[in-house]
Structure 1
Amino acid sequence: MISTLQSQPPHGTDGDPTPRLGYGADYNPEQWPREVWEDDIRLMREAGVTIVSVGIFSWARIQPAEDEWDFGWLDEIMDLLHTGGIGVDLATATASPPPWLTTAHPEILPVTASGETVWPGARQHWRPTSPVFRTHALRLVRKLAERYAGHPALVAWHVSNELGCHNIYDYSDDAARAFRGWLRARYTTLDALNHAWGTAFWSQRYSAWEQILPPRLAASHPNPTQQLDFKRFSSDALKEHLRAERDLLRDLTPGIPVTTNFMVTGGTKGMNYADWAGEIDFVSNDHYVHPGPQDRDELSFSANLVSGITGGRPWFLMEHSTSAVNWQPVNVAKRPGELARDALLHVAHGADAVCYFQWRQSAAGAEKYHSAMVPHAGPDSEVFRSVAALGRTLRTLAPVAGTEREPARVGIVFDWESWWASEQDSHPTSRLDYRQEALDWYSALLALGIRADVITATADLGRYEVLIAPVLHMVPAALAKDLTRYAEQGGHLIATYFSGVVDENDHVWLGGYPGALSELLGIRIEEFGPLLDGETVEIETATGAGAGGTATGTLWTDRITVTAPEVEVLAHYRDGTYPGRPAITRRAVGGGSAAYVSTRLGPGGLTGLLPALLAPAGVTSELPDGARGSVELAVRRDGGSRYLFLVNRTDTTVPLTGLAGEPLIGGAAGDGVFALAPRGVAVLRQPAT
């Protein structure tokens, strides 16, 4: 999935060839007087910084006018960083066009679905499909590449910044023309498009390509497949811009790897990163903690998913925060230990570089209250002391650099197109949250001390003994065959409500739900039973040692009819619309099984249910009894060693016993007995088996 040019992120330019973990930040020297720069370099060396991203939002500084260029300041900072042994991930600076460009060419500005222009004044005010913007952006990229191709500080190129963060959906005339071209390439003929979009409904049949528009503001619900294709197109349009900059950079600087920073975090869903990953030389990601009961579970889930996107190879944490951010309703500072724990959780799941936004906290601008490595309080601060301590820790963890994630026995399938399709309008409920359902399963596994990989539907599914597919709503025929083969060959599939319902065109599989998965699961559902806000149902386990146990379901129920004799009812509804009917089923299939969970149980309910679902595969925790639920385990490995990351999920000390290995960080009291500090991390090295 990832380019063979370079799969390990770079770490610096000091000439030391020893593998190590990169450490640094976004660095914006243009925000500061010249006299600050040398102090920055000194403090970077004190903190152990090895790489910084430079020039991300500097287009207006580099090119003050259309035919005027100013590289003097950038030349000087590149030289200073190189002298300090710090590598530069040089941005192409195309993220935000300068005022002179938008004044001369307002036609590059995005347009909303309701026809409003998105004006300058913030950032990313450009159309991904604008030929005018593309021309000016590539001119800038060429100038940068030609000037810095041989500079010894340059270790990587950083295309734009957070592509699609604010301009993923543009409904302009440029976008309409590009959308039609994308549709022609996808469908070839109007007949094929009309079939895919189901245009017989509501008199929408198209007789000419020019009649087709993006799903702009309409009188009612826009065509659902039109909406889905526009999501696909919008992701592809940004990917094409990424390719355009990348191709120019590779042509002019063939030895320098190219990346761009993804945003696998929170609710960012417009960009299909599984599809983008193969376009760059190493994957980078930005992640910020979202406060809530699953905040660090979500961090772990996102980092795990990035590793799934890369196929287990190392990646680059391009941005996260040392403490508070500035864009949440209430921006809470991190507690002691959380700065290090957050960073090391990313390393545990495959990050070979740890970077922050940003190096020095801004004195002005929209992000002046966003934390940084050097805060407003300066280096004489707890934040900077923690930053320097983390730098020392990352140096100690140098042996981990270049290692890959060790596959778990359980895989959670995360599919962007199911995410897009399952949350569209005109569905049985508007309350469905695809990512939250996947996160709930992940949290439940963490609570049981069980490792799981978050993977894409195109991964090698057969390497997992248990495959959990939450709300796998869109199942093309080929994927249905793959899942059936998986179970027949001994794998254990777990599907949930609203799975298997539609094909790749968002057409319902007829004959009853769960559509493409009905035969595999051995069940049939005639009608969905979504629940109202505040409405719940009780389910009761039916068989096994846990018979009689109960759990509470929300959001969804199904009226299930068992259609295959080998289906076992694991739980039934005690109340609600379907009392006595099956709620959770499992069908023996070949050497494996296929289970179905018909309601949302949340992390607590799933924690109680999972042991029964995992039992056929014999999957249990790899952690000592006292650590289960309190400690997260992640494993990286190379040809000779395994590295066990043990992360304390709690605010109390957790004693750990029976874990062999050489402690790299975290300390040991001897004989495999040690205490994991509150919010602490330990790393043990074991011989690979």
Structure 2
Amino acid sequence: MNATTGGETPFVHAGIAFGCDYNPEQWSPEVWREDVELMRQAGVDLVAVNIFGWSQLQRGPGEFDFADLDTVIELLHGAGIRINLGTGTASAPPWLSHAHPEILPVVADGTTRYPGGRQAWCPSSPVFREHALALVDAVAERYGSHPAIALWHVSNELGCHNALCYDEASAAAFRSWLQRRYITIDALNAAWGTSFWSQRYGDWAEILPPLLTLSSRNPMQTIDFHRFSSDELLDYYRGEVTAIRRHSSVPVTTNFMVTAHIRNLDYWSWAPEMDVIANDHYLDHRLGEPVTELSFAADLTRGLSGGAPWLLMESATSAVNWQPYNIAKEPGEFTRNSLSHVARGADGICFFQWRASVQGSEKFHSAMLPHAGTDSAVWREVVELGSILNRLGEVAGSRVVADVALVFSWESWWAFDGESRPSQGVDYLQQVHASYGALRDLGLTVDIVAPGASLEGYRLVVVPALYMVSDAQATVVNEHIAQGGHALVTFFSGIADEDDRVRLGGYPGAFRDALGVRVEEFVPLPPEVRVTLDSGESARLWGERLSTTTASVVSRFSEGALAGIPAFTRNEHGAGVAWYLATVLEADALRELFGRVASEAGVVPFSDAAGHDVEVVRRVAEGRSYAFVINHSHSAIEVQVSGRELITGADAVGSVTVPAGAVRVVRQESAS
């Protein structure tokens, strides 16, 4: 059953899984036995192996050697540890790229990228696919019926480095994809707007990937190349699944990268192909609010899973190795981060990796067993987390409840952040995170939904910066409002259709009538400029020459060239209410604005204690609910909730006290 069908997701076992990536090829057999014993002590019950095993399993064409992997699998199985078995295809072995350099990826400037890192292969390369699928077939044939295999792990972080490849194999595959999409060259010319700059094509053979040019590139060419590239890697994933299915009926997945710095795959189109939705997530300290982004990523992963439980395939116990400043986590922080994912729907928490490497690019990446060994704070917290997850086993299978939906689109992300846009000072994810952060700080739980997804049952729908949206997708939002729903739309939404064709007649295009406003012109503001609204807030980065048609004005710009022009409006449309924000507000002001909108929509937080530093999220199952209280602050808090607290085992009578930096989970016997 697919994760997005609304039924129960097949999962690795009952309870909350606790696991890791394990790379035994980096260690001697004596260490393997020690590792398995320590895994049992920590409570680890799901281990991913053979993620980067290709060069160990196959020293040359047709030369398979499974002896070491056999030993590791039997050691884990003997300890009662279930296995998330990798297909081993993430990085090609040197012998393959040496014999077939044509598999190497080419980047946008037309130059080749070479082995020595990882993912040094082109997704469209028929040679790579032939060899990779032969490996998958051999692995699946050998282990497909092994009782320890709980999950199949296709490749690893597909598209992390090589999603966009510009070589001739990719060019040929891109042309074939375009022919299937548009059928005729005239239809492609219309979709791409090739009458601009004399770009009209007369034959499919003339079309290239969007290699770097002397000027800006055709926007639709780059958007379609993103679409193609996402589809091409998904097609590769299907190829591995087909090979596995010849030998095994165990659930299959791959690890998504729902995170702030990876954007090249449209996971809305991938999700229905997964038996289990799995995600990798690491705190990104390059962001202003890394913990808020963690919550957003978890909610988005749950959205991809259609609300069903999902698996955190990778996370970090402490620092990573690939950011400019790799910040170590404070005591208790990785437990808190882990339980934030559980609160938002994860039924499994796994880490990269089990034992910290002593060589290679990731030797300074944290692990469950650090370089310092078991006499370390990280190891003690690992053991404690394993114990906590065991105590939370009954939470598995329950679902998160939310009254608010936020519409998110990878395609709009690609289009919004294109080369030629009104302002480089704003970007899509920045605006999405701002809206989400305001809702989170209000203590509201949010479902992240795809454009065009059903909005039934949501009291409030938020549409931040949805620049590219089809007429059908926009109609879902507009009809939701007309039928009595509430919606808040922010600037630069509804502007272009799925062909990046601007809607005429005034912005915000597809949402203009429902919002009751008309925008004649965008007025971006330089980063250093601040303007005041008549309501007292400070606005920045964006303004618009906006007039109302049926909307009422809530606040106006009060100074500068935009003085007197509406900045925030409210419109009664059908039986519902539509709000429009035409600028960027500071976080406090945006939170107040969202609070007003949510209150009118009848959305209230689960707890008055929730806020920026305190998350209160509820998971619900038949006959019971679980209140997760996550305290990110440096002071103890008291939350009004009664029931059985599962981490300490104490009864919460009227309230529960949550120490600084801690988490409490209260079971209530009847869900409302």
Query: Could you say which TM-score interval applies, normalised by the shorter chain?
Result: over 0.9
Tell me the distance in 2 between the aligned counterparts of 1:660 and 1:682. 12
Distance 1:6 1:622, change over 3 A: closer
Q: Are 1:562 and 2:544 counterparts?
A: no
Residue 688 of structure 1: CA displacement? 2.2
Tell me the distance in 1 between the aligned counterparts of 2:19 and 2:147. 18
Tell me the distance in 2 between the aligned counterparts of 1:250 and 1:554. 54
Indicate if the aligned counterparts of 1:421 and 1:506 stay in contact, CA closer than 8 A: yes
Tell me the distance in 1 between the aligned counterparts of 2:502 and 2:241. 39
Q: 2:647 aligns with which of 630, 641, 665?
A: 665
> Partner residue of 2:241?
246
> Partner residue of 1:136?
131
Q: How does 1:436-447 map to 2 (within 5 A)?
A: 436-447=430-441
Tell me the distance in 2 between the aligned counterparts of 1:576 and 1:153. 68
Residue 54 of structure 1: CA displacement? 0.2
> Partner residue of 1:531?
525
Tell me the distance in 1 between the aligned counterparts of 2:124 and 2:477. 37
Tell me the distance in 2 between the aligned counterparts of 1:313 and 1:560. 42
> Partner residue of 1:122?
117
> Partner residue of 2:555?
571
Normalised to the residue count of structure 2, the TM-score between the two structures is 0.97
Residue 434 of structure 1: CA displacement? 1.1
Q: How does 1:139-538 map to 2 (within 5 A)?
A: 139-253=134-248, 255-291=249-285, 292-406=287-401, 408-538=402-532
Tell me the amino acid that sits aligned with residue 632 of structure 1: E
Indicate if the aligned counterparts of 2:425 and 2:526 stay in contact, CA closer than 8 A: no
> Partner residue of 2:625?
642
Q: 1:97 aligns with which of 71, 92, 113?
A: 92
Tell me the distance in 1 between the aligned counterparts of 2:626 and 2:233. 37
- Corresponding residue SS for 2:163: coil
Give deviations 1:152-177, integer Å, cap 9, x for gaps. Answer: 21111100000000001100000000
Indicate if the aligned counterparts of 1:655 and 1:676 stay in contact, CA closer than 8 A: yes
Indicate if the aligned counterparts of 2:124 and 2:173 stay in contact, CA closer than 8 A: yes
> Partner residue of 1:620?
604
Residue 412 of structure 1: CA displacement? 1.1
Give deviations 1:447-475, integer Å, cap 9, x for gaps. Answer: 22222222222432122111000001112
- Corresponding residue SS for 1:461: coil
Tell me the distance in 1 between the aligned counterparts of 2:298 and 2:495. 29
Q: Which runs of 4+ in 1 moved over 3 A?
A: 3-6, 626-630, 666-670
Indicate if the aligned counterparts of 1:437 and 1:602 stay in contact, CA closer than 8 A: no
Tell me the distance in 2 between the aligned counterparts of 1:477 and 1:334. 45
Distance 1:373 1:530, change over 3 A: same
Q: Are 1:688 and 2:667 counterparts?
A: no
- Per mean C-alpha deviation after superposition, the further-off stretch among 509-518 and 648-657 is 648-657
> Partner residue of 2:564?
580
Residue 654 of structure 1: CA displacement? 1.2
Tell me the amino acid that sits aligned with residue 618 of structure 1: G
Tell me the amino acid that sits aligned with residue 616 of structure 1: E
Give deviations 1:237-286, integer Å, cap 9, x for gaps. Answer: 11100111012212221x21101000001221101111101111001000
Tell me the distance in 1 between the aligned counterparts of 2:36 and 2:452. 44
Tell me the distance in 2 between the aligned counterparts of 1:664 and 1:245. 41
Residue 627 of structure 1: CA displacement? 4.5
Give deviations 1:196-255, integer Å, cap 9, x for gaps. Answer: 0001111111110000000001121111101110010011111100111012212221x2
Residue 629 of structure 1: CA displacement? 4.0
Tell me the amino acid that sits aligned with residue 596 of structure 2: A
- Corresponding residue SS for 1:202: helix
- Corresponding residue SS for 2:372: coil
Residue 9 of structure 1: CA displacement? 2.7
Q: 1:654 aligns with which of 622, 625, 637?
A: 637
- Corresponding residue SS for 1:267: coil
- Per mean C-alpha deviation after superposition, the further-off stretch among 377-386 and 613-622 is 613-622
- Per mean C-alpha deviation after superposition, the further-off stretch among 362-371 and 595-604 is 595-604
Tell me the distance in 1 between the aligned counterparts of 2:41 and 2:119. 34
Normalised to the residue count of structure 1, the TM-score between the two structures is 0.95
Indicate if the aligned counterparts of 2:645 and 2:652 stay in contact, CA closer than 8 A: no
Give deviations 1:111-139, integer Å, cap 9, x for gaps. Answer: 01111101000000000011000000000
Give deviations 1:471-507, integer Å, cap 9, x for gaps. Answer: 0111211122211110011111111110000000000
Tell me the distance in 2 between the aligned counterparts of 1:459 and 1:3. 12
- Corresponding residue SS for 2:386: helix
Residue 669 of structure 1: CA displacement? 7.2
- Per mean C-alpha deviation after superposition, the further-off stretch among 581-590 and 644-653 is 644-653
> Partner residue of 2:659?
677
Tell me the amino acid that sits aligned with residue 607 of structure 2: L
Tell me the distance in 1 between the aligned counterparts of 2:62 and 2:526. 61
> Partner residue of 1:106?
101
Tell me the distance in 2 between the aligned counterparts of 1:669 and 1:660. 8
Tell me the distance in 2 between the aligned counterparts of 1:54 and 1:431. 43
Indicate if the aligned counterparts of 2:20 and 2:351 stay in contact, CA closer than 8 A: yes
Indicate if the aligned counterparts of 2:321 and 2:362 stay in contact, CA closer than 8 A: yes
Indicate if the aligned counterparts of 1:3 and 1:281 stay in contact, CA closer than 8 A: no
Taking only the aligned residue pairs, the percentage that are identical comes to: 47
Indicate if the aligned counterparts of 2:4 and 2:306 stay in contact, CA closer than 8 A: no
> Partner residue of 1:14?
none
Tell me the distance in 2 between the aligned counterparts of 1:554 and 1:54. 49
- Corresponding residue SS for 2:584: coil
Tell me the distance in 1 between the aligned counterparts of 2:42 and 2:430. 37
Give deviations 1:610-632, integer Å, cap 9, x for gaps. Answer: 122223212222213x4444421
Tell me the distance in 2 between the aligned counterparts of 1:584 and 1:467. 17
Tell me the amino acid that sits aligned with residue 490 of structure 2: T
Indicate if the aligned counterparts of 2:544 and 2:582 stay in contact, CA closer than 8 A: yes
- Corresponding residue SS for 1:619: coil
Residue 58 of structure 1: CA displacement? 1.0
Tell me the distance in 2 between the aligned counterparts of 1:602 and 1:178. 45
Indicate if the aligned counterparts of 2:444 and 2:605 stay in contact, CA closer than 8 A: yes
Tell me the distance in 1 between the aligned counterparts of 2:474 and 2:607. 34
Q: Unaligned regions of 5+ residues in structure 1, if any? A: 12-18, 542-549
Residue 6 of structure 1: CA displacement? 7.1
Tell me the distance in 2 between the aligned counterparts of 1:652 and 1:8. 40
Indicate if the aligned counterparts of 2:403 and 2:603 stay in contact, CA closer than 8 A: yes
Tell me the distance in 1 between the aligned counterparts of 2:77 and 2:599. 56
